[in-house]
Each structure stands twice: as structure tokens, then as C-alpha cells.
A and B are shown apart, each in its own frame.
Chain A
Amino acid sequence: MPVYRSVARALVLSLAANAGYAAPRPPGMIPPPESVEAGYWDLMAKAERQAQQSGELNKDPALNAYVREVTCKVAVEYCDELRLYIMDRPFMNATMAPNGFGEVWSGLLLRVEDEAGLAFVLGHEVSHYAESHSVEAALAHKNRQNIALAVSIGVAAVGVYAAASVGPYGDPGPILDATGNLIDAVYLASVTAFFRFSREHETEADLLGFQRAAAAGYRPQAAAESWRVVMAETSASDFERVRKRDARLGVFDSHPLHRDRVVALEAEAAKLTGEGVRGRERYRAAIRPHLAAWLKDDLRRRDFGQTLHLLGRLETSGEDLGVINFYRGEAYRLRRQLDDLERAEAAYFTASVHSDAPVAVWRELGDLRRRRNAVTEALTAYETYLAQAPTAEDAWIVQDAVASLKKGLS
């Protein structure tokens, strides 16, 4: 028993010793070629080349310039060395590698409320870079693994010795079982320490990202709001497992609970006075050209509860109502529960009065009206579609529907 206790104490002490943070990296720093970090840079250079060739890469110069501009506002000292790529992926995420290569996913750009929210997220990622979090985590994990291996060998040696000492009539089984369990516990402790370390990095990046965005003049409340948005959308999911995702923290979770992040960031915001820049109109103008394509991508995730929640938030500014209501109609039509088809028709109709509505809204309205035998209204919708898109590739489908309806009338 004393052996087990001393092993556990040594493990805890070694894990704690590896939890210290390094100082922020100096701008323009290039790691020596023989260093561990240089190895990570090589790996990340390969990942960056993949990103450059990826089919998900969003090459819109205006959007890329905008995201770069905001990045440089929160990372003045690192502006020249950061390379952010916008990837059309319908999930809320951004990453930053130790060599300055980062990704911002379209799902994040679709969900961030304004430029202040984007500045906080970018500030968070830049803080991972400035603090060399990924290199630090990898080195600490490597040290922990080495220590865990040494401890495991020691435990195994002690266990084997103890088992061999039980004498000719003793049963070594329980001792060997206990040895095996202890080795498993040592390994588990090293793995859970990795995730705890990751959560600490995330908390630190939240705080530093907040400070960067606030120093750049952005509205301090935007940081907490960014995580509140994630919480609300998670709660709106169609799937129970997703809704429960943020209920409690597990030892293998790499990020803190969203509600804890909100509380911490709200406390930071309360310390500051002044309103700060929100940049909502500018932000929406930057993402507007991609709104329809990103919403279509989001619908293909088929978590309609989340998409409908997102559409509700996008609608609050009173802009882009044709596009937003069209995709609301699409979400209801695809989900098709209870009175969803009625809701879809209402959403399409709302969309149709706005100039930014896709012309397809009339075809969809025609299909839904036809489905409920509202023949005259369906004909009106179909004929509007054909009038607005006479050369549409699918015009023959609508013409067929019109002919079929008219045949039924005659």
C-alpha cells in the first residue's frame, strides 16, 4: 500500500509540474530547426498545404480581406505572420496552429452576431498562438507519457516481485490484478491530465481573447454572447444527445462548459466601462454574399431545430428576410413534422414579398399549394416562377405541373 501511495503522489506532482504556462512568443519568432516546435511547424505546413487545396476553401477576396482586417486588429504584433483560411464547413469552429496557420469555418461566420463577436473568437485563437498552447500541450503530454511509462514499469516490477514472494501456497492472482489496475489508473491519469490541460488553455484563451478584442475597441459583452449563442443553439437541437452535450463536464472534455465560459466572460466585461464597437452592419455586409450557400450547407446537416434557431437569430436584424425566410421554408419542408408544411408555406410566402428571395420560392409555393389542392393559388405561384425565371433549367418541370393543374380544371 505505501508503494501505491508514493507512486500516486509522484504522478500527481509530476503532472502538476508540467502545467506551467510559457511566456507569449515574440513576434516573428522562428523555432530552431532542431527544436520540437520546428517539428510541429513541419506538420502544420503540410496541413496548411492541404487547406490551400481543399474543396472547402472559400476564396472570396472580399471576405478574406475582411477577416484578415479584423484579425490584425486583435493581433497587431502578429499580423504579418498569421495566415487564416476560410473553410466552407457548416460547423462553429476556428483553429490556430503554432506556425501561424489558422482556419475559420463558415459555420462560425454564420453564427457570430457581429464584428465584435468575430473579434473575440479571433482573439481567442490568436491567444492560443501567442501562448504556444498546442506546442505546450504536446510537450506536456509527452512528458506525462514518459513519466507514466516509468511509473508503470516501477509498478509492474513491484507487482511481479510481490507476486513472486507469496510462497508456494499463496495466490498471486489478486496482486497481479491490483498491479494491472494500478497501471491502467496511471495511464488514465495521464490522459485525463491532457484534457484538463486543454480546458485550462481554453479558459486562458477566452480571457486573453477577450482582452485583445476589448483593447481593439470592441464591445466587451460580445465575448460572453458568443458562447451564449452556442448554448442556445445546442438546446434547440433535434437530437437529445446534442442537447445534453453541455449538461456536465467529463474528464475527457477538451473545452470547459459553455455556461462557465459565459460566467467568466461576463465577469470580465463587468469590469470595463464604455460601449465599444459592435460592427453589426459591416459584419452582415461581409457575409451576405455567402448567406444562401452557407444556409444550404447548414440544412444538409439535417438538424432542423438548430437551423431554425439560427434563422431566428439572423432575422432579428430585419435584413436579408427573403433569403432567411426561404431557408426557413426549406427547413420546415424537409423536416415535415405535424404542421411543418403549413409553416413552410407561410415562410415561403413571407420570403416572396422581399426582393432578395430566391426565385425558387415561387416554385416551392406552387408545390405546397398544389399539395393541398389550392389549384388557383398554385397556378399563380407557378406562373410567377415561370415569368421571373423563363430560362430556368427546371422550367419544364413547372410547365408540366401547370399543364397538369389546368387539365384538372378543364
Chain B
Amino acid sequence: MIRLVRVGAGVFGAAALLAGCAGITSLPPGPARIGGAEITLGRQWSDVSILMPGRSNKVRLLSIDGPLLNRLYVTDGLAPGDYLVKPAHKEQPTPTIRADMTVSERIEFVTDSIAAMDYLRVEAIRPRPATLEGQPAVRFDISATSRDGLDVKGAALASEVKGKTYVVIYLAPAEHYYEATLTEAEAIMASVKARG
């Protein structure tokens, strides 16, 4: 009897865990909330955050054709100490937000975080001024290489609103996929609102 109760408890626990998993969900065109951030999608995306190793509650990963072909990271407002990439273990720390970051350091936070996602030769290109909810932001392009030698391009937006940093990063292979979704990614960046 005790054995039966234990087995039953195990099955129930596993079912509860599975029910708690968000899985891959579809995001229809229109507004979407990521914690305190709101973006407007021009088309259907998939929320593939579950595929992120070491998932953070403040970061969502969206994709159209799968994360190897296009990926869009959108963050909730990141507070000092928060990261974009969760460290795999203590001896491999990843970049964290600081309270007094300069514009250059925000760019560095994004590029170093992308490097921590296992991209190589990550560089910021053509940083330019932008705005997010009327606050100064920085918009820049990214060049990188995947470990398999694939050339990757990207676009990013970073800004601080009321002490919290909001980041949007779009990454895709340089060949075809980057250009194919760039307009949509830029429109999403332009749509970011800090509601937190």
C-alpha cells in the first residue's frame, strides 16, 4: 500500500511538473507582454524561450523559423545584477547589469552577452542614437560567427528607463535570413514600451 502511494505521488508530481512547463507557444501579431516590457509583433512568432539553456524569467526568446535561423531576445526591465545569459556555473560568470553603465558599457553588455551565448568574434557596428519611450537609447548592428563558421548578423537596441535596462537583440545568419526579417525586427524595436 505504501509502495502504491509512493508511485502515485511520483506520477502526480511528474504530471504537475509537466503541466508547469510552458513549452513552445505561438505569439499572434499585435501587442505582446514580456514582464514589464511591451512589444508589437507584425506577424506571428513562436516563443521558444524554453529552448534557452539556463532560462531567465526576465528574458524571452522568440523565433519564426527556429532559433538557428532567426532569434529575437526581448528583456523585461533588467535591474542591477541581472543578466541576459544565465551562467552555467559559478566559474563561468556572464555579464550583468550595473547601476552606472555608460552607453559604451551597455553596448559591451550586449556584445559580451552574445559572446556568452557561444557566438564568436562578436562586434558592435555603427552605434547610433535612438529612443525608447522618449528616453535616450542606443541602436547598433552586430557581426558575429557561429562556432560552426556561419556568418551571423544582428541588430540591437538598449536603453535605461527608470533605472531598468531594456534590451532587444535580433540575430540571424547573414545569408538570406538576416535581411528577410530585419524590417520586422526593426519595427519591433521601435515598438518597445516600458510598462514596468
Chain A positions within 8 Å of B, measured between CB atoms, are 50, 53-57, 88, 239, 241-242, 300-303, 336, 363, 367, 371, 393-394, 396-397, 400
Contact = CB atoms under 8 A, between A and B. Distances in A.
A330 B138 CA distance: 21
B147 interface: yes
B150 A55 contact: yes
B90 to A, nearest CB: 7
B98 A55 contact: no
A36 B185 CA distance: 52
B116 A300 contact: yes
17 contacts: A55-B145, A55-B146, A55-B147, A55-B148, A56-B120, A88-B120, A241-B90, A300-B116, A302-B95, A303-B91, A336-B98, A393-B125, A393-B126, A393-B127, A394-B127, A396-B127, A397-B127
A239 B90 contact: yes
Nearest to A301: B92
A371 B100 contact: yes
A291 to B, nearest CB: 16
A88 B95 CA distance: 21
Given A55-B121, A56-B147, A367-B102, 18 more contacts: A53-B149, A55-B145, A55-B147, A55-B150, A56-B120, A57-B149, A88-B120, A88-B121, A241-B90, A300-B116, A302-B92, A363-B104, A367-B104, A394-B127, A397-B103, A397-B104, A397-B138, A400-B129
Contacts of A53: 148-149
B42 interface: no
Contacts of B138: 397
- Interface bin, chain B: 20 to 34
A394 B108 CA distance: 12
A56 B128 CA distance: 29
A50 B126 CA distance: 32
Contacts of B147: 54-56
B142 interface: no
A397 B146 CA distance: 29
B93 A302 contact: yes
A363 B105 CA distance: 12
Interface string B124-137: 01111100000000
Interface string B83-116: 0000000111111001010111001000010011
Contacts of A57: 149
Contacts of B125: 393
B129 A242 contact: no
Given A55-B121, A55-B145, A302 B94 contact: yes
Interface in B141-171: 145-150
Contacts of A303: 91
A50 B121 CA distance: 18
A300 B112 contact: yes
Nearest to A52: B149
